[in-house]
Amino acid sequence: MVYDIEFARRTPSPALNPVPEPEKTVLFIDFDNTISCGDVLDSVIERFSRSEQWRHWQAEWCAGRISTLECLQRQVGDLEVDEATLLDFVRAAPIDPDFVRLQDWAARTGARLNIVSDNFAPIVRAILARHGVELPPIYANELRFEGRRLVPSFPYRSAACRRCAHCKAVHFARCEGLRTLYVGDGLSDTCPAQRADRVFAKDSLAEFLRDAGRPFIPFSSLGDVVRRLEQDAAAAAPRPD
Ligand SMILES: [Mg+2]
C-alpha cells in the first residue's frame, strides 16, 4: 500500500485547538480540486496523451503498485502538446472564487499562505494569473518544453518518502515554532496532513484521515475554510472589559 494508513493510525494526532496567533501561522494549501474546481492535471493528461496508457498507470497508482513519481513521469512523458497550446487550455480552468477571500484573511492577519501542488508550476501560475490573482509562493513540480514533448522534474522529492513526487511535508521543516494549517483534498495531501497542527480536508483526504482516526475539519469549498478561520479569530480575540 503506497499510502500507509497503519502508520497514520499509529502517529499521535494534534489537538484541534483554536488558532490563537494568526501572525505566527503558515497556511499550506493544495491546488488541484482545492483551489481549482476539478483536477486540472487529470484533464491535461486526458486531453493531450498520445495513447490510452495513462489509464493503466493511473490504475497502478491507485492500487499502490507504483509511486506518484513513477506515475507522473510516465503520464507526462506520454503527453504531446506545445507550451502555448497547453497553457491556453489550462487557462480556461475555473477556481474557487473564495480563494481571494482566503488570501485576504492571510493578508489581514499576517498569516503566510503557500500553495503546495503535485501539479506543475507553469500550469498553476497560468491559471491564477488568468484569474487576476496575486501569486503567493508556489511550491510545485517543474516542467520544461522541448517542442511538443514535456520534460518533468521534481525538485521537492524527499528521500524519506517513497510515496510522493512532491512530498509536501518537506516544507514543514521551515516552520519550527509556527502554527501550521493544511487545506487539501487528495492522497498527495496525506503526508503534510499528518504534520499540520490543523487540517481542513475533503474527498479522499477526508476519507483517509477518517479511516486513520485522525482529526480534521471537513469543508466543501474555500468559503467554509474562511468562515471557520474567522470564527476562530473572533473566539480568540480579547473581550472588552
Ligand atoms: Mg488536490
Q: How far is the CA of 204 from the centre of ligand 1 (A)?
A: 9
Q: Would you state the CATH architecture of domain 20-236?
A: 3-Layer(aba) Sandwich (3.40)
Q: Is the pLDDT of residue 1 over 50?
A: no
Per-residue pLDDT reduced to its tens digit, 21-72: 556 899 999 999 999 999 999 999 999 999 999 999 999 998 889 999 999 9
Q: Is the pLDDT of residue 18 over 80?
A: no
Q: Is the pLDDT of residue 12 over 70?
A: no
- pLDDT recorded at residue 20: 46
When pLDDT is averaged across residues 82-108 and rounded to a whole number, the result is 97
Q: How far is the CA of 123 from the centre of ligand 1 (A)?
A: 14
Higher pLDDT, 142 or 9: 142
Name the pTM for this structure: 0.88
What contacts 24+ positions apart, CB below 8 Å, involve 98-104?
98/221, 98/222, 98/223, 98/225, 98/226, 99/35, 99/133, 99/222, 100/133, 101/222, 101/223, 101/226, 102/27, 102/29, 102/222, 102/225, 102/226, 102/229, 103/133, 103/134, 103/136
- pLDDT recorded at residue 2: 45
Per-residue pLDDT reduced to its tens digit, 220-238: 999 999 999 999 877 777 7
Q: Is the pLDDT of residue 207 over 70?
A: yes
Q: How far is the CA of 120 from the centre of ligand 1 (A)?
A: 12
Domain ranges of the chain: 20-236
Per-residue pLDDT reduced to its tens digit, 97-147: 999 999 999 999 999 999 999 999 999 999 999 999 999 999 999 999 999
Beta strands in the chain (DSSP E): 25-29, 112-120, 138-146, 149-153, 179-184, 198-201, 217-218
Q: How far is the CA of 221 from the centre of ligand 1 (A)?
A: 13
Q: How far is the CA of 237 from the centre of ligand 1 (A)?
A: 32
Q: How far is the CA of 133 from the centre of ligand 1 (A)?
A: 19
